[in-house]
Amino acid sequence: MRKVNSQDNVFEVGPREESRSLWGTYLPYVKIAFGFIGLLRNGLAIYTIASTGGDQLDGLPFLSPVLWLDIVLVFDLVSNYSMIKFLSYPVAILGCRMWVICLWLSIGYCFLGYGTRQYQVLNIPDYCQTLGVSWQTDPRRANYVRMQVIIFSSATAGFGVALFSYLKIYLPSRRRWNVPTEQEAATRFVAPIAPSEPAPETWIQRRIKQFGVWKRKVLGRLPRYPAGEQRELTLLRPFTIPYVGPFRGRTVLFRAPAFKKPELHLSEHLTTIVQIFVLFPFIAGFLMAVILNSHAYLLLGQKGCYGSYVSGRFGYLDLQLVNFRVKLSTWLGLNT
């Protein structure tokens, strides 16, 4: 519990309210950061595919099956700001294309042998030559392919559910099919209540209404002090514009955010629901990767013969010969 001193009066702010407010304040910035990381991830993925070449896709590394989800997030951000809103359509088209690329990659990893040429065999002892083992492919690869498919399927299912729920909740079109009979309509009819004389809307009230989602926060934070006193309301300290005006019979100094906090519209709804769907597959992937890369040296056996395989125990940071692009792909979450 923290005591906040507002001019002469002291009121208390609970830790729960404080942390929730902090999340609400900084979440847009975190999303912008993730948007940039997502764009970097997509750019790196396209560069990796292009540089690998059409006839060498058997040497293609694992690329995230949810690259298109990054573009959905970028669409969400772009469609929120009027200055760059015109970019939302090209971004939506790019997102669709990335989904197709991710689908193609998933099919390729499963059935077309993408990423199977991993190692060059230098020497096979006589005993191991007739076992029919493909030594150029890591035996752990099959687990990652399964995880790739699970993540892609979960994300796609999540997208379908999110889109369906959005249409079901927000679109009133279904009402069209529920046409009541004249008798039913008569029983449903409720005479409208005559509106009372509305009080003139103050400038501050209009301002609060303009900020939509922030409205409740503003009202919740208005201190209940005697009329006429001047109080300060801070929503987003570094990026606020101060306004002075009447509100509920008092004069208040109201600090409004410089931009409007986005509503939970279609793109945000989609991003959020899909992220919930992929959260648990990613946690499962994390646990799987921890187990499969548990030690620095992995001497894995196949039918009685052994080979030494690369371990990503420290995200390849400990391996000096690994090129920078592989390390960057790993740490950006592209290599999943």
Within 223-252, which residues bind another protein (CB under 8 A)?
none
Q: Please report whether residue 209 would count as binding another protein according to CB under 8 A.
A: no
Residue 189 CB, shortest distance to another protein, in Å, is 33
Q: Please report whether residue 67 would count as binding another protein according to CB under 8 A.
A: no
Q: Please report whether residue 47 would count as binding another protein according to CB under 8 A.
A: no
Residue 243 CB, shortest distance to another protein, in Å, is 22
Contacts 24+ apart (CB under 8 A), 277-282: 277/154, 277/155, 277/157, 277/158, 277/161, 278/66, 278/69, 278/151, 278/154, 278/155, 278/158, 280/154, 281/147, 281/150, 281/151, 281/154, 282/151, 282/336
Nearer to another protein, 87 or 128 (CB): 128
Nearer to another protein, 22 or 241 (CB): 22
Instruction: Name the amino acid, one letter, at 43.
Output: G
Q: Which positions ≥6 away from 113 have C-beta within 8 Å?
A: 57, 58
SS3 189: coil
Site string (148-187) toward another protein, x via CB under 8 A: ----------------------------------------
HEC readout, 134-186:
CCCCCCCHHHHHHHHHHHHHHHHHHHHHHHHHHHHHHCHHHHHHCCCCHHHHH
| CB-based contact 78:96 (threshold 8 Å) | no
Q: Please report whether residue 268 would count as binding another protein according to CB under 8 A.
A: yes
**Which range, of 79-87, 187-195, 233-241, 302-310, touches another protein by CB under 8 A?**
302-310
Q: Please report whether residue 260 would count as binding another protein according to CB under 8 A.
A: no
Q: Which of residues 115-144 bind another protein (CB under 8 A)?
A: 115-128, 135-136, 138, 140-141, 144
Q: Please report whether residue 104 would count as binding another protein according to CB under 8 A.
A: no
Q: Please report whether residue 66 would count as binding another protein according to CB under 8 A.
A: yes
